Every structure is written in C-alpha cells, then in structure tokens.
Chain A
Amino acid sequence: MSAAPIGKDLLGLEHLSADQIRLILDTAEPFKEISLRAIKKVPTLRGMTIVNLFFEASTRTRISFEFAEKRLSADTVNVASSGSSVSKGETLVDTARNLEAMKIDMVVMRHGASGAAKFLADRIRSNVINAGDGTHEHPTQGLLDILTLRDRWGSLEGRRVCICGDVLHSRVARSNIWGLRKLGAEVAVCGPRSLLPNAIDELGVTVFGRIEEAIEWAEALNILRLQLERMQAGYIPSLREYNRVFGVTRERLERSPRDLVIMHPGPMNRGVEIDSDVADGPHSVILDQVTNGVAVRMAVLYLLAGGRPEVAEAAKG
C-alpha cells in the first residue's frame, strides 16, 4: 500500500496543508454519489478492519463513520467506553497496545482528553482518525462543514464565516478556524467573552462581542451548541439570557443585509442558541452537513488507506 497523501493519521486540520484539505474535499465529491445508490456499497476497503473507539457518548459522528466504513466494505467493530476495559482502569496506552496486537488497520477515536488522538497515533502503526479529542479538534466535522460551504459557494476564497457560541469548549470551532482560513475564508467568532478562549484573536480570527455585529458581517453562521453544564459552571447566567442576547433568531437574521447560510454541527438546543424557524428555515444547510459527513468520512478512510483520488472516481463504477 502506498503512503497516504494526507499522512498516516488524521488528527486535526491545523497541520494539514490547503492542498491536502482540497484533496479530501475533492475525494469526497464522487463518494457522495454512492450514498444515493440503491445498493450503497463499494468494495474499496474490503478486508480492512476498523475499530470505532468511542470513549465519549456520540450518536451522529459514530453512525456517520460506521456508514462510511460499511459503504466502503470495511469490517468494523464498535467499542464504547462503558463496556470497555477503560472503565476497569485500563490506560489508553494499554488499550492501544491491545488493539495493535489484534492487527487492526484503522482506529476512529472519540476521546474526552485533548491530544488523546495524537497520543494513540504516536503509539500504534494503524491509521488513527480523530473523531473529536476533548476541546481540541474534530477534523471530519470541520471538513464536512467546509464541504457544505464549498457546495454552496464554489470557493471559500474571501468568504466570511462566523462561528457563534461556546468556542472555548468546542473542538468543532478549532477545526473550522484552521480549515476555513487555509482555504482563504475570513473567520470570526462571536459569543460571550467567558466562552471564548483568551487568546483566540491570535489565531487570526475577528472577535465579535454582539451577535448583531456578527450577523451584519458574516455570509455564513456556524452556530455551536450551548451546553447546559457551562451555565452551571458559571460561564453564563442562564440559557434563557443566552438566547435573548446571543441566540440566532429569525428577527435578528432579517436584519442581515444578505441571505446568510445557517450551519450547526448538532445536536441543537432549539430555543437556546438557535430558534426553530432558523434551524428549519430556507437558509439552513444543517441536514446537508449531515449528508456530507458520510462522504467526507469515506474520503478520509479511503485516503488514509493509501487511495488516490482518481481511483476513488473509478471506485464509483
């Protein structure tokens, strides 16, 4: 198998080049079509063994990866933390060694600790795909967000995207910031300062303290979930107030000078960070994001397995 054009692992978008990101997106395009077929399966990864290792609860990301793997004919095993030896105190390094001893090919890992994916990748020969590590990165989510915007705009060059909400605790936000900026977009963040990392502006993003400013500036809003526990930890006074001050409502959107693209990585808190008539409204691409998620993950799996884009095109047949 030849070396993967995007490296051994996909740990984040920070260390990928713009060309590598474009390669993944370009590779995802032909894979979209497979999901539209009556028989949604190609033999591309037949014989490969992939472990989906989810140390944190996840529904959509895990299912999306599983679909991607099955549509490429890989053999998959799902491991959730509650049923694993981790709950008996096994360390991540021991888990990694055991997986390696079972001669697997790839690991898709979701973990609550930032850097956990790199930790694993540094210790096993198998390819590692980061399905979200702590508050660090969630690269496939970033890629599917970017693919969705590229579908809409054709190019990201010079486009303005604002990430709204709890950036401090968001792995999605960081992947979006790296990926969008590498492809030429301008990126802003908007939220209460208590939910924005202290040095966020040093990442090359504009910071808006008021949602009205963000709406006036942006061409797309990527709205992040407000987590209930953040309120209890004293970051914001209440979810109600958050909605009143930072919530994306139809009234606020109507003041935008343009048709804003509305995105959300889910799961949504309707009536908190996003109102239902925005989530279900004409500018929402939220379900397109979900659809694109499978194609992007197929592309990543395929490329890490050593595949080339031209072969992906051929795999359609």
Chain B
Amino acid sequence: MVLLRGGRVLDPSTNLDQVGDVLLREGRIEHAGASLGEVRRDGDLIEIDCTGRVVSPGFVDVHCHLREPGREDVETIATGARAAAAGGFTAVCAMPNTDPVTDNQAAVGFIIRQAQRADAARVYPIGAISLGQKGEALAEFGEMIGAGAVAVSDDGKPVASAQLMRSALEYARAFNIPVADHCEEPTLAHGGAMNEGLVSARLGLKGIPAEAEEIMAIRDILLARRTGGHVHLCHMSTKGSVELIRWGKDRGIRVTAEVCPHHISLTEDAVEGYNTNAKMNPPLRTAEDVAALQEAVKDGTIDLVATDHAPHHYDEKEREFADAPNGIVGLETALAVLVTHLVEPGIIGYGTLVDRMSCTPARTFNLPGGTLRKGSVADVTVFDPLRRWTVEPSAFLTKGRNSPYAGMQLTGRAACTIVGGRIVYRQSE
C-alpha cells in the first residue's frame, strides 16, 4: 500500500482538484480525494508526505525513441524507461524506427519483455505502418496489436505515399488504433537542416519550410475524413498546422495531434552558432509558431504533449550541423519545460498540464492510466511544481546528453513516480 498524504490531488479526468490523500492498494487506485485520516494498515504501508506537491495521474508519453534493438549504445529500453520514470512518466510509447524495424509481432514481443525486465515506466511498443518503414507494403497490424502494440507509425520518416496512408487508416479501423504520422512532405523538406527563414538565410543552411509539414497534415486530415480512421499527427511545429487541425476537428474528423515541449518553448534562434543540440525534425520554428502552439495546447486543438525523446551519442552531435542527426532528449525535462513556459506565464494551469501530459494521451492511445478513478491502475506522478533546478545533462538517467536546455534553470520536477502501485522513482530531497 502507498498512501500519498496531503498533496494537491489533481485529476482532470474526474474533475478532481483538492488537497487530500491518494491511497493505492494492490496496484489499483483505492482512493483519491479527501483526507483519509487514520488508515488501517494491512501489510506494508508506505506513507509519503506530499505537502506542497501535486499528485496526479502518471504522465504518459505517446512518442519516444528508445533505440533498442540496434543502438543500445545510445539508449536501451531499460535506461529509457528509467529516464521516463525520472521525468514523471509512468508509461511511454516506443517508436518503431529501431534496427531492425519493429514491424512484426516478434519485435513487439521483444520490446515488451525488455520493458518487463527494466521494471520502471511501462513501455508500449508502436508498430511500423510499413514493412521496414520503407513506405511500400503494410506491416501486419493485427499480429502486432495482438502482441501488444498500441498504435502504428513510420515515425522518423513520413508516409510519402498517400495511397499507403489511406490503406493504413482504413485497415487500422478494425483495431481501433491511431495511425501516427510524421508529417513531412519529403521533396520539400529534402536536405533541410532547420526552419526556413531569416536564420537559415543568414547561416547558409537549407531550410525546411512550414509547408512541408502542413501539406502532409492536411493530406492526413483529408484521408482521415475519407476513411473514418484515426490519424494522430506527431510533433506539430507550425501555426499553419494548428489552423488545419482546428479545421479538421471542427468538421468532426478523427484527428488528434501532439506537440513537443521544445516546439512550445524554443525558437529557431536556438540554432545560432550551429548548435546541433537544437537540431531536430521538425525544426524549431518562429516565435509566432510557438505562440500559436501554446494557444493550441490551451484550447485543446493540440490534444497532448509528447516528448519525441531522441537520444544520440555525444559524438554524433559533435559535428557539422547539416550532417548531425536530428533530435534531443526530452523525458527528464518535459514537465519542467511545460511548467516554466506554459504554467508560470499563466497560459495554462496545472489542471490543463496534467490533462495534456496524462489524461488525454492515455485516452487517445487507449492506454490504462491517465486517471485517478477508483479501481484504475495505480500509475501516479507526484511532482513539485515550484522546484527550481538547473538542467545538467550529465545527471540524466537517459544515456543521451543532447539537450538544448543544458544549463538552463527550469521550474517543476517529478518527486515520485509510481507504476502499478510500486514506487519506481523518487527524487532525492
């Protein structure tokens, strides 16, 4: 049993927001809300004082890269799952762009077994849309889902073929899973290393225009309308994409979308000096895009926040900008970036933060968790909303060190992460 005492119990899924207690028993939520007073002890009772902290459903990241199999030198499922727990995530979805690609039931099963061994945050595999992520033939969705995959995606690459995307959306309907797409029109983005605009013009770097994302976003939305499938748009980065998603939602199309913490906190200016730790795909955009994305998180046009955690070995980033790989680590900074850039400036409250990091991701990907409702799995995050800390990548639990937030002071930190009633992470005082 775990008793979380005296915290601000915050669960948008049940409209709960009060100072009180949360009791976890046998891996389930037994109580969330009013103070319990004396609790009958049967067996071990771990009591945690949560005064001044927020107790919420565990965060769920529907988009991360754990690199195993293939690049265990960069990250393993175990190190990724531990990093997730340290960031307050009780569950993460692992993208299939591993080596070999997670495009069959055996590969899905391998990830699940590795995650069980890791014994940290839950890890849910996402299967590939196409065999080998080649964009040619559909992978076996049914078998992968049967083995434990929760969605399909060719993330890391766009689905260039509109016909294949249509088929994926149609075929996925039988399993009621989202088809998550990396929206990037490949001919327009080809060779691009950063956002196309003033900074790319100055630095002499080939730019990726906003339209490369937006063209694919509207294609996917229209295909979702045609097929009735659920399209989930990954890592949205532009104001135009927000407008297109809003258009789709207004018409009842099954489109959901995510944004990454970096796209709502940093601009293309972070690339100055050819900073490869600010190189990612989609690239960091303009202040206008950042403001539109923040507003979209607030009003729900963007459903949820996902990290796109993408660790790389330090020497892979230690090279010429155009040749450096895309991506940054994000599991351990996501909460703090959101608190610092969305909550502290008053754009959203903690309730919306918890909804976008926990309730809605779980609901969108049909995952357990994302709620403190009685009887639900006891996946809980306790976080200190006022904790100021300086990002020090060498202290990360992920193997990756590639963070554009290195050295920055941020606010908000996971204090305790509980998965299935078991404490998998506690921040030292």
Chain A interfacial positions (CB closer than 8 Å to B): 14, 91-93, 111, 113-116, 118-119, 133-137, 171, 174, 197-200, 202-203
CA distance A133 to B205 in the complex (A): 10
Task: Give the size range of B's interface with the partner.
Answer: 20 to 34
B154 part of interface (Cβ distance < 8 Å): no
B205 engages A202 (CB within 8 Å): no
Instruction: Say whether A92 contacts B322, CB under 8 Å.
Output: no
Q: B207 at interface (Cβ–Cβ under 8 A)? A: yes
The one of A111, A133, A174 in contact with B202, judged by C-beta atoms closer than 8 angstroms, is A174
Q: How far is the CA of A200 from the CA of B209 in the complex (A)?
A: 14
Chain A interface SS verdict (over half): mixed
Query: Are B201 and A134 in contact, CB atoms less than 8 angstroms apart?
Result: no
Near A by CB (< 8 A), chain B positions 320-342 give 320-323
- Bound state CA distance, A91 and B313, in angstroms? 14
A119 with B320: CB separation less than 8 A: yes
Closest CB-CB distance, A266 to chain B, in whole Å? 19
Taken together as a complex, chains A and B put the C-alpha atoms of A200 and B197 apart, in Å, by 9
In the complex the two chains form, is B203's CB within 8 Å of A198's CB?
no
CB-defined contacts of A202 to chain B, threshold 8 Å: 198, 201
Cβ contacts under 8 Å, B322 to chain A: 113-115, 134
Across the interface, name the chain A residue whose C-beta is closest to B323: A113
Kindly report which residue of chain B lies nearest to residue A111, judged by CB atoms.
Answer: B320
Whose C-beta in chain A lies nearest to the C-beta of B318?
A93
- Cβ–Cβ contact B320 & A115, under 8 A: yes
Contact of B319 among A92, A118, A135, A136 (CB under 8 A): A92
Contact indicator B319/A200 (Cβ below 8 Å): no
In the complex, B42 has a CB within 8 A of chain A: no
B197→A114 contact, CB < 8 A: no
Q: Determine the chain B residues whose CB is within 8 A of the CB of A14 once the complex forms.
A: 202
Residues of B within 8 A of A (CB): 196-198, 200-207, 209, 273-274, 315, 318-323
Contact present for B201 and A200 (CB under 8 Å): yes
Contact A137 B319 (CB under 8 A): no
Chain B residues whose CB sits within 8 angstroms of the CB of A198 once the complex forms: 196-197, 200-201, 207, 209
Task: List the count of A-B residue pairs having beta carbons below 8 Å apart.
Answer: 69
Given the complex of chains A and B, what is the CA–CA distance between A93 and B320 in angstroms? Answer: 9
Contacts of A114 in B (CB 8 A): 203-205, 274, 320-322
Instruction: Look across to chain A and name the residue whose beta carbon is closest to the beta carbon of B193.
Output: A114
Residues of A within 8 A of B318 (CB): 91, 93
| Selected contact of A197 from candidates B201, B315, B319, CB within 8 Å | B201
Q: Does A203 lie within 8 Å of B209, measured CB to CB? A: no
Q: Are B204 and A118 in contact (CB under 8 A)?
A: no
Task: Establish whether residues A91 and B319, one from each chain, have CB atoms under 8 Å apart when the complex forms.
Answer: yes
Contact check, A115 vs B321: say whether CB atoms are below 8 A apart: yes
- Docked-complex contact B204 and A199, CB < 8 angstroms: no
**A118 and B273 within 8 A (CB):** yes
Task: Please state if A174 and B319 are interface contacts (CB–CB under 8 Å).
Answer: no
**B204 touching A116 by the CB < 8 A rule?**
no
Cα(A111)–Cα(B204), bound, Å: 13
**Contact between chains at A197 and B320 (CB < 8 Å):** no
- Which residue from chain A places its CB closest to the CB of B206 in the assembled complex? A135
Would B204 and A137 count as touching, CB distance under 8 A? yes
CB closest chain-B residue, reference A200: B201
A115, A199, A202 — which one has the most chain B CB atoms within 10 A of its CB?
A115
- Contact: B207 with A92, CB < 8 Å? no
Chain A to chain B contacts (Cβ below 8 Å), 12 pairs: A14-B202, A116-B320, A118-B273, A135-B205, A135-B206, A137-B204, A174-B204, A199-B200, A199-B201, A202-B198, A202-B201, A203-B202
| A115-B203, A115-B274, A136-B203 known; A199-B320 Cβ under 8 A | no
In whole Å, how far is B289's beta carbon from the nearest beta carbon of chain A? 14
In addition to A91-B318, A92-B320, A137-B204, 20 A-B residue pairs with Cβ atoms within 8 Å of each other are A111-B320, A113-B321, A113-B322, A113-B323, A114-B204, A115-B203, A115-B320, A118-B274, A119-B321, A134-B205, A136-B203, A136-B205, A174-B204, A197-B200, A198-B207, A199-B200, A200-B201, A202-B201, A203-B198, A203-B202
